[in-house]
Amino acid sequence: MMYQYDEIDKTLVKERVDQYRDQVARRMRGELSEEEFRPLRLRNGLYMQLHAYMLRVAIPYGLLSSTQLRKLALIAREYDRGYGHFTTRQNIQYNWPNLEDTPDILDHLAEVEMNAIQTSGNVNRNVTSDPYAGVARDEIEDPRPYCEIVRQFLTLHPEFSFLPRKFKVAVTAAETDRAAINVHDIGLRIVKNDAGEVGFKVLVGGGLGRTPFIGKVIRDFLPKEELLRYLQAILRVYNMEGRRDNLFKARIKILVHELGTERFTEKIEAEYEASKSDTRLLMDGIEEDRIRAFFTPPTYESLSDDAPDVDAEAAGNPAFADWLNRNVVAHKQPGYAIVNISLKPMGEAPGDATAEQMDAVADLADQYSLGHLRVTHRQNLVLADVRKQDLVALWKALVALDFATPNIERITDIISCPGLDYCNLATARSIPVAQRISQRFADMKRQYDIGEIRINISGCINACGHHHVGHIGILGLEKNGEESYQITLGGSSDVDADIGKRIGPAFASEDVVDAVETLVNTYLDIRQDGERFLDTYRRVGQDPFKERLYAAY
């Protein structure tokens, strides 16, 4: 079900916390200046935000046990203001910890086999994956053993701990891309070749930020056992040749872009060939099998895929039926279902959860989903192993927690960064815009009429809210002391990934929600049968949207 630390993992995390505790003590005694302390705390996930420190904790590939979630709740209650914020990269952030408490928080995390190692800084970050990994019907095999292998390999890597810039890896094995691998520094897709062997398709150089790119395929098929050698080649070339003269050009996507995909690929392949005599990283299956064993599917009950109680409830209860249609997904095991918990009740901040809510979800995970849950890239939670016969009871419990809003992949399922309310990089607020859009479109009937649509909001050009890949993207900027919002259309982080295009001049804060509504109404007027917002946009282009949008102003 889940990787468990052995002596090496435990020792490493403990030694890391000890090292950090000493660094904090040196800082508190004044032996380290803030300037000297900065790179050290960053490597342990501690940022200086607008009002206070922010601690980012990794949730490797989004997988959590109920015990771990209760610990996250305890930290929220005892060391923060009672809540945490789930991010687009399957992390959780605490916005109000005291510096002197942070080593104790890391001790708490270590107790439940968690850490904040490399959640910031110019290093490899949390390895992310499909929130339905291991239970999805459309996957070739469970990608999580490879996520764990990559996590370990790139943790405190002696050669790659001072990269030109941050580095993000995502892995998926499914046809539908729920991990946004196209917009990661390295995207790995588990594929089968003609001979039926399983390996990786390797994408490099995707990313958002101020220069967005879709990742380029540099290998159609990499044999599984070569994974670490190939990763080492990519990271080594990047470490030696990535730009270090300009912070904004230091990501690997710029290296790929400047060299061209062909030249870049040649360099990687040459380095890979040259390192082939070193067999230490050639996975021979022993360590791989050890790790894979942790992800053996649970013993499922033998159940019928028919659930008459559920059908009966859905027939007589439209609210339940909506939830069932929207938030519940088919499971590979008959008689089971995947349940999305929406962290986006109408008018609330996307991704936030209180300590009480976390405890309650942990109880639900124990009661209904084999004690585990997942955090999604779209800032929701997932109970992945729910018996269909339990769906009605689970729905009632979620309704009581205000976690049953049936809006997954609908207009109020908004991705948003923390924005100017918290972040000192931000140029505008983003959460309040998300809240206002959520209120404007609160009517569920209207949401269903609009259908699948992704709105992503970032509070600055760094694009933590992934606005470039929203069907509608909103970027908050500051102009003459006023917040303004630029709109992009046509982005996607799915298999049909694309970077959205700017539609025109930015909107004032009080006009941006009207603008979104105008875009949506335009789509409703001109869509053809079965078209999503994105499909209509791709068919007709910007003009019809642009005309309506700017005619009004």
Residues that bind other proteins (CB under 8 A): 7-8, 11-12, 15-16, 18-19, 23, 39-40, 122, 149, 152-153, 155-163, 228, 236, 239-240, 244, 274-275, 278-284, 286-287
351 Cβ partners below 8 Å, 6+ apart? 85, 86, 87, 343, 344, 379, 416
Number of alpha carbons in the 13 Å side-chain half-sphere of residue 158 = 0
Between residues 244 and 538, which has the closer beta carbon with respect to other proteins? 244
Q: Name the percent of the chain in helix, strand, coil, to the closest 5.
A: 40, 20, 40
Q: Provide, rounded to whole angstroms, the least separation between the CB of residue 12 and other proteins.
A: 5
CA distance 114 to 68: 8
Q: Provide, rounded to whole angstroms, the least separation between the CB of residue 43 and other proteins.
A: 8
Helix (H, G, I), strand (E, B) or coil at 439: helix
CA distance 457 to 475: 6
Q: Provide, rounded to whole angstroms, the least separation between the CB of residue 18 and other proteins.
A: 8
CA torsion, ordered 279, 282, 286, 288, to nearest 10 deg = 160
Decide the pairing of beta strands 53-58 and 328-330.
unpaired
Between residues 64 and 123, which has the closer beta carbon with respect to other proteins? 123
Q: How is residue 347 written in tokens?
A: 């008018």
Instruction: With beta carbons less than 8 A apart as the criterion, state whether 203 and 216 touch.
Output: yes
Q: Provide, rounded to whole angstroms, the least separation between the CB of residue 224 and other proteins.
A: 12
Q: Provide, rounded to whole angstroms, the least separation between the CB of residue 79 and other proteins.
A: 25
For residue 467, give the DSSP letter: G
Q: Provide, rounded to whole angstroms, the least separation between the CB of residue 163 and other proteins.
A: 6
Instruction: With beta carbons less than 8 A apart as the criterion, state whether 468 and 500 touch.
Output: yes
Decide the pairing of beta strands 455-458 and 415-416.
parallel
Q: How is residue 470 written in tokens?
A: 């929203």
Q: Provide, rounded to whole angstroms, the least separation between the CB of residue 86 and other proteins.
A: 26
Between residues 49 and 155, which has the closer beta carbon with respect to other proteins? 155
Between residues 165 and 429, which has the closer beta carbon with respect to other proteins? 165
Q: Provide, rounded to whole angstroms, the least separation between the CB of residue 465 and other proteins.
A: 27
Helix (H, G, I), strand (E, B) or coil at 133: coil
Helix (H, G, I), strand (E, B) or coil at 61: helix
Q: How is residue 478 written in tokens?
A: 């500051």
- Bridge-partner residues for 476, per DSSP? 485
Q: How many CB atoms lie within 10 A of CB 26?
A: 14
Between residues 144 and 331, which has the closer beta carbon with respect to other proteins? 144
Between residues 58 and 549, which has the closer beta carbon with respect to other proteins? 58
Q: Specify the residue for token string 């009950």.
A: 301
Q: Provide, rounded to whole angstroms, the least separation between the CB of residue 23 and other proteins.
A: 8
CA distance 417 to 343: 14
Triad 418, 185, 465: Cα angle to 5°:
20
Q: Provide, rounded to whole angstroms, the least separation between the CB of residue 184 and other proteins.
A: 21
Between residues 162 and 294, which has the closer beta carbon with respect to other proteins? 162
Between residues 12 and 526, which has the closer beta carbon with respect to other proteins? 12
Q: Provide, rounded to whole angstroms, the least separation between the CB of residue 480 and other proteins.
A: 35
436 Cβ partners below 8 Å, 6+ apart? 513
| List of E strands, 276-404 | 328-330, 336-341, 352-354, 372-375, 381-387
Between residues 282 and 552, which has the closer beta carbon with respect to other proteins? 282
Between residues 241 and 409, which has the closer beta carbon with respect to other proteins? 241
Between residues 140 and 156, which has the closer beta carbon with respect to other proteins? 156
